[in-house]
Amino acid sequence: MTRRVAVVGGGSSGLACIKCCLDEGLQPVCFESSDDIGGLWRFKENPEADRASIYHSVIINTSKEMMCFSDFPIPAHYPNYMHNSLIMDYFRSYADHFQLSEHIRFNTTVLAVKQRSDFSRSGQWDVETQNRDGQLEKHIFDAVMICIGHHCHPHLPLQDFPGIDSFTGKFFHSRDYKTPEQWRNKRVVVVGIGNSGGDIAVELSRVTKQLYLSTRRGAWILNRVGDSGLPLDMQLPRLFTYVQNLVPSSLISSLVEKQVNQRFDHALYNLKPKHRLFSQHPTVNDELPNRILSGTVQVKPDVRRFLGSRVEFDDGSVAEDVDLVVFATGYRFSFPFLASHVVSVSENKAALYKYVFPPELERPTLAVVGLVQPLGAVMPIAEMQARWATRVFKGCIKLPSLASMLQDVRCKQEAMARRYVTSQRHTIQVDYVPYMDELAELVGARPSPLRLLLTDPRLGLNLMLGPCTPYQYRLRGPGKWPGARQAILTQWERVARPMQTRPCEDPKPGRSLMGPLVLAAVCVAAYVNRNKLAAFLQDPTALSDHVKAAGFF
């Protein structure tokens, strides 16, 4: 009999799970509590309980070639960094192309997922659901994939802000922010400098009388636009990952911090944190330095207390007549439909093997997909997790012993604690390429650039020196896609396509002798005056005066 798999959640991770189930001959049934796909990326004016909610202007921080599903490139004419509405269009195209929607039960909430009495033998689960009419239904599944992400419950630590009860203005979590218009000519404080905090601060600062951005630690600010105007995340080749493994992390941090500071001096802008660049999830924001430079955003330390309409900061400075405080303080995740002994969550931590499998289950028939915070895009990672999990469900891949899995969990937790500053945000961090390679190795789909350099040099060079786009993980092994090679070789064409919106002939530079002549003149002058070189080094203005006296200028 075909094994039935329950997929909880119809966001990007849920869609990937449905497709991977179909690819492996499994029968998925997806339960989505709302009336549509998209999860986090579906904008709604009114937030729903226990769900993340985005603001109207959200644009993704990863470029289209790095965020797409590995066998379904985003259309060439789409912009490199997409608005949330275009991301939804892409998800719909993906669902239509692979006929995923017919496997989704919308407006259906999962109430409970429990092991059956014979779980040690069958590995099966009892799943109880409720539709929008209140009708309860019980199901039996051979496996379960949980795809509800980590933006579940807004983290609003009001106990850390003395006097908040006396605040006369309005305050809310960033999930409740939608558009800036109603805050025109108001004074606003945004607490938190993650990606949401930075974006909201920039957007509000265009209409507010003054915007204060409060940050406890500061942050390193990256931008979407890299060298030559290309997407920044497309300029990090796989080779960089190999170098990272060979060079001390402190040296890598110093080099990258120096490059980041060339854009703007983080210390001058009061943003420089005490920690190194790779010790915190970076904030991506192209516009924040300009807003600070123009004075519309003032960077402030942590909030000390509220006094009526006044907000006092740790440095003793005070913001007067504040109308709004936006708490961009992150989210907490939980699995209320699961027993705590199945997946235990404490302080935003869940002990999962490779961030997917509860190690202590007798049978590996439950997987958590998409519960990661990558330095990169989550969509390809969730897809790779789903490819691995479905192969485990089928029995094609065996998990290691309990002791080995627990050791892997401990090693990852310890490595994270050593690298990152302590924060509920830094509990599920992964580096994109190493983690993708780790999972792909288990699936049998890890690319081999060195081998390809011998058998297909053009492709091998693209893998080694180019960006690590998701197509690389469809070149070989289970799930191999015939279009992967061509997708890799044409990825830069898709990057350029949306910007080619007017004819623009690149003029050929005229041949000029001025440069060589000037260089020759300098060399001759240096030779003629070689005896005066020491004097010139002591007093360069003397040569300048001599040149002017000779009538050259």
Please enumerate in sequence order all residues whose Cβ is within 8 A of that of 190, keeping only pairs 6 or more positions apart, or say none: 197, 200, 201, 204, 211, 212, 213, 214, 325, 326, 328
The pLDDT of residue 246 is 85
- Mean pLDDT, residues 469-473: 98
Q: Work out whether the CA dihedral 125, 402, 384, 23 comes out positive or negative.
A: negative
- Mean pLDDT, residues 170-189: 96
Q: Categorize the per-residue pLDDT at 533 as very low, low, confident or very high, splitting at 50, 70 and 90.
A: very low
Residue carrying the six token digits 């940050």: 215
Closest CA to 391 of 5, 128, 1, 29: 5
Closest CA to 37 of 130, 107, 141: 107
Q: Is 216 exposed, middle or buried (0-12, 13-18, 19+ CB in 10 A)?
A: middle
Q: Are strands 345-346 and 349-350 parallel, antiparallel or unpaired?
A: antiparallel
In the DSSP assignment, the letter for residue 59 is B
Q: Residue 401 pLDDT > 70, yes or no?
A: yes
Could you report the per-residue pLDDT of 404-448, keeping only the tens digit for each? 999 999 999 888 888 888 777 777 889 899 999 999 999 999 999
**Calpha distance 403→401 (Å, rounded):** 5
Q: Are strands 125-131 and 136-141 parallel, antiparallel or unpaired?
A: antiparallel
**340's tokens:** 């705590």
Q: Residue 526 pLDDT > 80, yes or no?
A: no
**188's tokens:** 């606003």
- Mean pLDDT, residues 197-206: 98
Residues making up the chain, counted from first to last: 553
Question: What's the one-letter identity of residue 449?
Answer: P
Angle, to 10 degrees, between the axis of helix 432-443 and the axis of helix 238-246?
100
**200's tokens:** 């909201």
Q: Is 36 exposed, middle or buried (0-12, 13-18, 19+ CB in 10 A)?
A: middle
Could you report the per-residue pLDDT of 271-280, keeping only the tens digit for each? 999 899 988 8
Q: Residue 536 pLDDT > 50, yes or no?
A: no
Residues 487, 73: contact at Cβ < 8 Å?
Answer: yes
Q: Specify which of 46-55, 135-144, 333-342 reaches the highest per-range mean pLDDT.
A: 135-144
Calculate what percentage of the chain has a pLDDT beyond 90.
76
Output 150 or 91, whichever has higher pLDDT. 91
- Mean pLDDT, residues 146-171: 93
**Calpha distance 417→448 (Å, rounded):** 31
**Calpha distance 112→122 (Å, rounded):** 19
**199's tokens:** 């974006």
Quote the pTM value: 0.89
Other beta carbons less than 10 A from residue 116's beta carbon: 14
Q: Strand, coil or helix: what is 353?
A: strand
Q: Residue 550 pLDDT > 50, yes or no?
A: no
